[in-house]
Amino acid sequence: MRFDYAPAPESRSIVTLRDSYGLFIGGEFVDGSSAFKTISPASEEVLAEVTHAGPEDVDRAVAAARQAYERIWSAMPGRERGKYLFRIARLIQERSRELAVLETMDNGKPIRESRDVDVPLAAAHFFYHAGWADKLGYAGFGPSPRPLGVVGQVIPWNFPLLMLAWKIAPALACGNTVVLKPAETTPLTALLFAQICQQADLPPGVVNIVTGDGSTGHALVSHPGIDKVAFTGSTEVGKEIARVCAVSGKRVTLELGGKAANVVFDDAPVDQAVEGIVNGIFFNQGHVCCAGSRLLVQESVADEVLSSLKRRMATLRLGDPLDKNTDVGAINSRAQLDKITELVSSGDDEGAQRWSAPCPLPDRGFWFAPTVFTGVSQAHRIAREEIFGPVLSVLTFRTPAEAVEKANNTPYGLSAGVWTEKGSLILWMASRLRAGVVWANTFNRFDPASPFGGYKESGFGREGGRHGLEAYLDVFGGGDV
Ligand code: TAP
């Protein structure tokens, strides 16, 4: 029997959108050189006009961050810094509904995900790092590790507020000040976060937000007044940033792309594994760096797993991201939709078999149905390149050794999943998979206390946990350690 869901839209009334937003520099919203529009990817409606920061605006932001670093923040006792972080965390919680609705409007992700994942995790990152602010001397980096200075941070559009929290919380806890550039298509929650900084009475200049496109990001990472660059985004741009920062003396951490293998053995409980596969690739429309975009399934259970998977995919509800029943929201931009479409056509051309969930797509906005490819070989582009969309490539294997070889046959190394009842096999696999995170019988689990980061072309440096603090501290003897 089929049950239809009545629409359950979350109200937009909690969000007060301004017509236009300035740059957040020195604790105030200020005008910049030019402007661009940010739209809802689900409806293509213009949401607001946002300022494009040029090099002179970035210069102003870096100067404000430097002043705040030297006059206030670096000298403030950790205990006091921690109070500001706690206050920000509490404000994120208090304004969580507003943040979730705004994130969904600007990004296109289902409200269920922004409400239950993005915003609570963003608050958790501030709470967690608030706890570290006065305990840095006990983190294993010497008795009194020093901050680095002014940090330039550039983030992508897939988890706008959460990536901001991953960047800003540890930087501030360690005594640095920041200039952050959100992605061009998703600036609005960063600008609401700027209002939260005002509400928390954060000293002016400790956090600065410069909106714009890749040229703003370039102006920021190449600015001589920056001591450290923290970047999350594509491997292509990460490589360019590494070149720009080479021999500049800047510290750099890069969190880049991925092409994770989700490995299902024949003893795994099929229903549980299918939920994990669906969560691994269709969560956030597959716009996830650590998405389980390559399913490696043991040959003896491949047919059973695939037919269960298709049955489950057919029940996914795609549509209005503000509807609380929606599982799959909008693709974030026309450009991303074009990229997904092009890679999917390459899968057709190279001979893989495509199957898409039979869900109707809305007329307006950017949409792509959850899709699975079988008959995929390791040479196919859909098995090698990051699609960053709701598209799964399925390969099979016979032995654990073959699974490891295929899983590691990628230039990336961000994450992997293993599904089996045998603990010994999990440990055997985890020690051989070249991936920063290996999930066992689950997928896409995040915790601020757990370090996250990649091998190979997925970047270097870790975010989160005690390890993540190292990226924001002078642990190599430049300070009074
Ligand atoms: P990118 O195109 O690399 O953009 C990331 C950020 O860099 C955006 O703010 C972008 O600005 C900016 N940017 C573009 N060109 C730049 C340049 N030359 N110099 C400095 N900054 C520049 O990535 P994306 O498409 O937004 O995000 C998707 C990618 O992020 C995927 O590859 C995904 O795997 C990766 N990602 C990785 C992680 C981790 S933790 N490893 C987490 C999330 C996402 P505009 O937006 O204005 O172009």
Among residues 386, 436, 374, which one has the least CA distance to residue 410? 386
Residue 340 structure tokens:
């997904």
Atom of ligand 1 nearest to the CA of 233: 30
Residue 86 has pLDDT above 60, yes or no: yes
Confidence of residue 477 (pLDDT cuts 50, 70, 90): low
Residue 245 structure tokens:
């920062």
- Looking at residue 64, what is its pLDDT? 98
End-to-end CA distance of the chain: 67
Measured in angstroms, how far is the CA atom of residue 252 from the centroid of ligand 1? 15
Mean pLDDT of 367-395: 98
CA distance 166 to 234: 17
- Select from 185, 189, 237 the residue to mutate for testing ligand 1; criterion: most ligand atoms less than 8 Å from CB: 237
Q: Between these two residues, 218 and 1, which has the higher pLDDT value? A: 218
Measured in angstroms, how far is the CA atom of residue 161 from the centroid of ligand 1? 14
CA distance 166 to 463: 7
Atom of ligand 1 nearest to the CA of 258: 34
State whether the beta carbon of 385 lies less than 6 angstroms from ligand 1: no
Residue 158 structure tokens:
């897939």
pLDDT digits (tens, 9 = 90+) for 176-230: 999 999 999 999 999 999 999 999 999 999 999 999 999 999 999 999 999 999 9
CB environment 434-460: b (16+ within 10 A), e (fewer)? bbbbbbbbebbebebeebbbbebbbbb
Mean pLDDT over each residue of the chain, to the nearest integer: 96
Measured in angstroms, how far is the CA atom of residue 400 from the centroid of ligand 1? 34
State whether the beta carbon of 221 lies less than 6 angstroms from ligand 1: yes
Atom of ligand 1 nearest to the CA of 182: 9
CA distance 80 to 130: 10
Which residues are known catalytic residues? 255, 289
Beta-strand runs (E) in 323-469: 353-356, 371-374, 391-397, 415-419, 437-440, 459-460
Q: Positive or negative CA dihedral for 334, 335, 341, 342?
A: positive
Atom of ligand 1 nearest to the CA of 414: 41
Confidence of residue 144 (pLDDT cuts 50, 70, 90): confident
Residue 244 structure tokens:
């720009």
46 strand-pairing partners: 39
CB environment 8-17: b (16+ within 10 A), e (fewer)? eebeeeebee
Residue 478 has pLDDT above 50, yes or no: no
State whether the beta carbon of 289 lies less than 6 angstroms from ligand 1: yes
Atom of ligand 1 nearest to the CA of 386: 32
Measured in angstroms, how far is the CA atom of residue 182 from the centroid of ligand 1? 9
24 residue type, one letter: F
State whether the beta carbon of 234 lies less than 6 angstroms from ligand 1: yes
184 residue type, one letter: E
State whether the beta carbon of 218 lies less than 6 angstroms from ligand 1: yes
State whether the beta carbon of 157 lies less than 6 angstroms from ligand 1: yes
Measured in angstroms, how far is the CA atom of residue 189 from the centroid of ligand 1? 17
pLDDT digits (tens, 9 = 90+) for 289-308: 999 999 999 999 999 999 99
State whether the beta carbon of 154 lies less than 6 angstroms from ligand 1: yes
Q: Give the ranges where 319-399 is alpha helix by DSSP (H).
A: 334-349, 381-384
How distant is the alpha carbon of residue 2 from its chain centre? 35
Measured in angstroms, how far is the CA atom of residue 349 from the centroid of ligand 1? 28
pLDDT digits (tens, 9 = 90+) for 428-463: 999 999 999 999 999 999 999 999 999 999 999 999
Atom 30 of ligand 1, residue of closest alpha carbon: 233
Crossing angle, helix 78-94 and helix 96-107, to 10 degrees?
70
Q: What would the DSSP string read from start to end of 248-284?
A: TT-EEEEE-----EEEE-TTS-HHHHHHHHHHHHHGG
Q: Decide: 322 and 114 in contact? Cβ < 8 Å.
A: no
Atom 42 of ligand 1, residue of closest alpha carbon: 289
Atom 38 of ligand 1, residue of closest alpha carbon: 289
State whether the beta carbon of 389 lies less than 6 angstroms from ligand 1: no
State whether the beta carbon of 332 lies less than 6 angstroms from ligand 1: no
Residue 410 has pLDDT above 50, yes or no: yes
State whether the beta carbon of 387 lies less than 6 angstroms from ligand 1: no
CA angle 224, 230, 235 (to 5 degrees): 110
State whether the beta carbon of 277 lies less than 6 angstroms from ligand 1: no
